[in-house]
Structure 1
Amino acid sequence: MKKLVLTGAAGRLGSYLREPLTKMCDELVSTDRAEAIGKTYPGETYVQADLTDLAAMETILEGADMVVHFGAIGDEAPWDDILQSNIIGAYNVWEAAYRKGVRRVVYASSVHAVGMHVKTDVIDLDAPHKPDTYYGLAKCFCEDLASLYWDKRGVEAVCMRIFSAAQVNNARALGTWLSYDDLIHLVERSIDTPVVGFTKVWGLSNNDRIVADNSKAAHLGYRPKDNAEVFAKEILADTPPLDNKDPANMCLGGPFATVELGNSGVAALGVVDDRKEI
């Protein structure tokens, strides 16, 4: 592939994708609104840009084969912030992709698009949207945007509904973990699968305590290897019995199911910022 674009390159998940993506193309253009991302990998260039600037997105996507879209506020936030970064920003990515002939958008969607579903239902990919926050609502919008641009404009999309792509440090993550290695594998399959149309896929590792059914995305060839069960003994030893009437314990969205709209959900998860450095 000649050119890939990665948005959100300065973020924690973006830091793990940059090097693998350079191996899939001649040129990787990483972009974020941060002033810099430090050293770049061979074949990678960095362009500072804001997703809310459609003209800038058009310039960056010129000549690109695909865009891997991870740029957004990665947490619940006030409505106006979510609107600008996560909704208008996503529209600009898809519209620029269409205008510049980009074949596919690989999108970091989220479990929070369906976060109010009960995890014991083990839903499949056809379960209706049931967002838990403004953040989750924006993911619903972007999945429908991806579907629309495929149906009406022929821009393919893979919407990866990422669960817990972070260190396993709580009982919820035993069923929702997505390891960084499996994240990379999922993005690679979302890029190199010959035909995807509009595809949704759960971003989950091969956990024993799986909370969603990925069988309807089998055509991607995503076969995760890691399993959060290796952390179970230690995690459960430090976890008191959970209240089974608390939506934070019963719903797929975890703490996002109970936070007030506009307030951080990540703060309750204890996510460790272990971004990759070079």
Structure 2
Amino acid sequence: MLKKIVLTGAAGRCGTILRPALAAMCEELVSSDITDDIGELAANETYVKADLADHASIAALMDGVEMVCHFGAIVDEGPFEELLGPNFIGSYNVWESAQKAGARRIIYASSIHAVGMHPRNSCIGIDAEHRPDTFYGLAKCFTEDLGRMYWEKRGIESVHLRILSCAPVKNARALGTWLSDGDLVHLVERAIDTPTTGFSVIYGVSANDRAPVDNSKAAYLGYRPRDNAEQFAEEVLANEGPSDPTDLAQMVHGGPFGTVPLGQGGAAAAAKGDD
């Protein structure tokens, strides 16, 4: 059992799902976000309100930490200036303070939007080049590169989870991109308990028949998803009209983020269900 795990973004959808499982893996879980309250805590869990853009606040979380699960961020497209603090500087603050505190590894909620402009009819692997679809996706690219640099220059491991859609299956795209709650927990558990990872990238997706990504080169992490969105296919396809191959949102991996104007959120958030 680990001595201490720090979780950022604890009030978000993924953070809320992960908290009980993380608490079971460590003696002390420190959960953090910018909200005032995240509800009932586990017996070994404490909550600390902290702004990712405030280096001192993030550094204060890290004393004695072994693993960091960095899930905090603005989870939509927006003006670069708004994303700069939490999504860019926040990642630097997490890596720098965790490394100084002696953390062994950081598990990061990256996103398909780091490679969102790749054509959807190309099944991309974990070595696909960065092709961000938004400033939001650019922040994911930045943090993946930050993680690689800190591994190669300072020896702190990281596992970057390119999450596709961690939300209920409501459209045809999600038949390929769905990551179930149970598979999310399993993915993070493997990212934590794999003995050595170095710098690693893996897609956060369930065992969907229509999955548009390939995790075969990340098999060493031991992630073996159990759920399949095909169980929802008949109902979803019956309720959705014919697909439009001229619609870029249906033809790139980033979905609606592929068409949203840079710096403008809202529409993408309503459609996405990612991270």
* TM bucket, shorter chain: over 0.9
2:215 corresponding residue in structure 1 = 214
1:49 corresponding residue in structure 2 = 50
CA contact (8 A) 1:111 1:252 kept: yes
CA distance in 2, matches of 1:210, 1:71: 26
CA distance in 1, matches of 2:114, 2:10: 22
CA distance in 2, matches of 1:225, 1:5: 27
CA distance in 1, matches of 2:63, 2:150: 18
CA distance in 1, matches of 2:149, 2:133: 23
SS at match of 1:159: strand
C-alpha distance after superposition, 1:202-227 (max 9, x if no partner): 00000000100100100000000000
SS at match of 1:119: coil
The 5 Å alignment of 1:11-160 reads 11-160=12-161
Unaligned runs of 5+ in 2: none
CA contact (8 A) 2:255 2:272 kept: no
C-alpha distance after superposition, 1:70-118 (max 9, x if no partner): 0000111111111111000000000001111111000000000000001
The Cα of 1:271 is off from its aligned counterpart by 4.3
- Counterpart code for 1:269: A
CA distance in 2, matches of 1:190, 1:44: 20
- Counterpart code for 1:236: L
- Counterpart code for 1:65: E
C-alpha distance after superposition, 1:110-165 (max 9, x if no partner): 00000000111101111100000000000000000000000000010000000000
1:258 corresponding residue in structure 2 = 259
SS at match of 2:121: helix
SS at match of 2:60: helix
The Cα of 1:267 is off from its aligned counterpart by 3.5
The Cα of 1:268 is off from its aligned counterpart by 4.0
CA distance in 1, matches of 2:51, 2:6: 14
CA contact (8 A) 1:107 1:157 kept: yes
Q: CA RMSD in A?
A: 1.1
CA distance in 2, matches of 1:119, 1:53: 37
The Cα of 1:41 is off from its aligned counterpart by 1.1
Q: Judging changes above 3 Å, is the alpha-carbon distance between structure 1 residues 138 and 18 closer, same or farther for their aligned structure 2 residues?
A: same
The Cα of 1:179 is off from its aligned counterpart by 0.5
Query: Percent same amino acid at aligned positions?
Result: 58
SS at match of 1:178: coil
CA distance in 2, matches of 1:38, 1:177: 27
CA distance in 2, matches of 1:271, 1:135: 14
Aligned residues: 272
- Counterpart code for 2:98: A
CA contact (8 A) 2:68 2:103 kept: yes
Using structure 2 for the length normalisation, give the TM-score.
0.97
The Cα of 1:270 is off from its aligned counterpart by 6.4
The Cα of 1:269 is off from its aligned counterpart by 1.1
C-alpha distance after superposition, 1:31-64 (max 9, x if no partner): 0111111110121110111111111111101100
C-alpha distance after superposition, 1:167-187 (max 9, x if no partner): 000110000000011000000
2:8 corresponding residue in structure 1 = 7
- Counterpart code for 2:271: L
Using structure 1 for the length normalisation, give the TM-score.
0.96
Greater than 3 Å deviation, 4+ residue runs: 265-268
